[in-house]
Structure 1
Amino acid sequence: MSKQNLLSANPLLGQEIHRRFDEFGPIQVFDDGNKRYLSFGTTDEQSCQLKSQPFQLQHDYLRCMLAVLSQYPQPLAITSATVLGLGGGSLSAALWQQLPQAHIHAIELRAAVAQIAYQFFQLPRDKRLTVHTNDAVDFVSTQVKQQHKTQLLFSDLYLADGLNQVQQQTDFLEKCGEYLTPDGWLVLNLWKEHRSDAQLLSTIKKLFATVLQTTTHDGNWVIWASRQKPADKKQARINCKVLQPEFGFNPWGFCKMFYRFF
């Protein structure tokens, strides 16, 4: 049987155009003509890319994560960002495009996933974007030991069967805090079901002076955490206007969600 015959269609994601396996399971790429999707053998999308505008984020939770740039007085002057969990590379690529002075470090456990991000999702091959094939916890721990710092730390760690629970562990969150610069922000992507985890939220609030949060329409719970005070609401809106031309969407529409209950 040919490889082509092994590929299938998915009513939600389109035609399967690539499939491979590694020690963690299947990795599939689907294409519906307009968008391209990454899947780990389930009907859930790990990544979604609009092919005509590959750096424009498609999911609400990713737009909420990226909108944290509004918290910096001069967001275009950011020089470092780290993304834990590459997937198709949507967030890493958007940061690479948005932050012209920043070096982006993307951490991905599965080498095959990184290869697919380059091959099928237009992940930039550029000296400002370094992809590390590594365990996220090990990477952060090593950076802390070497006294390296990052201004932005995005944690978007998911497995085929759901959230990587390391994101809920105190030791991991402490290490994330140590890895950040004094003015840095940690951005966590969780599921809305985790809002009921009072212990998790309490831990984050003990580690960070500022904790902003929102729940997205697509069912994610996104947290921004920092030792710094949040930007004034008016200033955050001004920063969003500066960022909007390259975003391809209105970042204030997502940023303001974090101020709703603050």
Structure 2
Amino acid sequence: MLETCSKDIYKVKGRLIYQSHDDDGVIEVVEHNGVRSLHFGSSATQSSLRIDDPEKLELAYLRAMNSWMLFKDAPEQGLLLGLGGGSLARHLLYHFPDCRLVAVEYRKDVVRVARSHFGLPLDARLKVILGDGGDYVRRRAETSSGYFDLLFVDIFDHDGMSPSLSSIAFFDACRTLLKDDGLLVVNLWNTDKDLFEAYCDWLNEAFEERVLFLPVNEHDNIIALAFNKGSPAYSLKALRSRAEALEPLYRIEFSSFLRTLVKSNPRVINRVIK
């Protein structure tokens, strides 16, 4: 049993195999029942890797973030804000050999741990930038537009989502960087009610209410899928067939996610799915 003190005392089952501290807090790697997990000074799991099956996405919220595959084919360019243990980056590199990625991570030690303990490869298709993801998006949007097929936001510290994301300007900049048919995927986690509602309002304003929310059962995560203006209208029948075809290829519960998307977004689902 691991027991460590940050702001609060917490317990995580397993064997502590790595621990370091930087100006932003604690970084810990714990192993339990064949799963290696990353923690940032709390019991919340940031990334997990099943040691004997590293290509399967272990965490439900990361599988839910890949529900974009219901709506898009293989991407060419992706931007990841927040690297964590690198599970999402590894997944994209493994399954989409023609995809090139930029990942922005604030903490240098997180990048090092992703490579040393979670198998993030040194790959010419992946460019890792050290810096604040929100600042990176705003600066790049001043000089570039319509570049990325996919933009993923998964930025946390020990208190929750990064404050650099907390403005309409950030989500406007995300939309600017996306291709006309691009998708923004945001992991909304550990936010209080007022802040969560603010994120929803910013997303809906920036993407003209073409936003679907996907709750992850038994977790505090809600995944937002925001569709740029050139995204096609999708047939529910076609999406159901696509979900069934994709599930065995990626070992992701796409059919379940599709049902939840339809159920959870009754007022706006017709903006995306016909």
- State whether TM-score is above 0.5: yes
- Say whether residues 1:219 and 2:216 are aligned partners: no
RMSD: 2.1
Q: What TM-score do you get using the length of structure 2 for normalisation?
A: 0.84
CA deviation profile, 1:95-123 (whole Å, cap 9, x unmatched): 11222211111111001100000000011
1:52 lines up with 2:49 in the alignment: no
Matches within 5 A, 1:142-153: 142-148=139-145, 149-153=147-151
- Give the Cα–Cα distance (whole angstroms) in 2 for the partners of residues 60 and 120 of structure 1: 20
Between 158-167 and 180-189, report the one with greater CA deviation: 158-167
Which has the higher relative contact order, 1 or 2, with Cα contacts under 8 A spaced 6 or more apart? Answer: 1
Q: Residue 136 and residue 35 in structure 1: after superposition, are their counterparts in 2 closer, same or farther (change >3 A)?
A: same
**Alignment partners' CA distance in 2, 1:199 and 1:9:** 36
- For the 8 Å contact 1:176–1:186, the answer to whether it is kept is yes
The percentage of aligned residue pairs carrying the same residue is 27
Using a 3 Å threshold, how does the CA distance of structure 1 residues 106 and 146 change in structure 2: closer, same or farther?
same
Residues 134 and 165, structure 2, Cα contact 8 Å, conserved in 1:
no
Which residue number corresponds to residue 30 of structure 1?
30
8 A Cα contact 1:195 1:221, kept in partner: no
The count of corresponding residues between Structure 1 and Structure 2 is 252
In the aligned structure 2, how far is the partner of 1:256 from the partner of 1:105? Answer: 31
Write the distance in 2 (CA, Å) between the matches of 1:100 and 1:256: 29
The Cα shift of 1:175 comes to: 0.7
Q: Is the 8 A contact 2:181 2:232 kept in 1?
A: no
The SS at the match of 2:45 is coil
CA offset digits 1:12-55 (Å, max 9, x no partner) = 34101111121212211111240001111222211111111212
Counterpart CA distance in 1 for 2:193 and 2:152 is 18
Quote the offset at 1:241 in angstroms: 3.8
Residue in structure 1 matched with residue 262 of structure 2 by the alignment: 259
Aligned residues of 1:13 and 1:37 also touching (Cα < 8 A): no
- Structure 2 residue aligned with 1:178: 176
How far residue 67 of structure 1 moved from its aligned partner, in angstroms, is 1.1
> What TM-score results when the alignment is normalised by the length of structure 1?
0.88
d(CA) in 2 for partners of 1:157, 1:55? 22
Alpha-carbon distance change, 233 to 168 in structure 1, aligned in 2, over 3 angstroms: farther
For structure 1, list consecutive stretches of 5 or more residues without a partner in the other structure: 1-7
Give the letter aligned to residue 128 of structure 2: V
1:9 alignment counterpart:
2
Q: Who is 1:3 aligned against?
A: none
* More displaced stretch, 218-227 vs 239-248: 239-248
> For the residues of structure 2 that align with 1:105 and 1:255, how far apart are their CA atoms?
28
Task: Quote the residue 1:100 is aligned against.
Answer: 97
**2:134 counterpart (137, 147, 150):** 137
User: Match of 2:226, as an amino acid?
Assistant: A
Preserved contact between residue 188 and residue 222 of structure 2 (Cα < 8 Å): yes
For 2:157, the equivalent position in structure 1 comes to 159
Report the residue type matching 1:45 in the other structure: T
Letter in 1 for 2:159: D
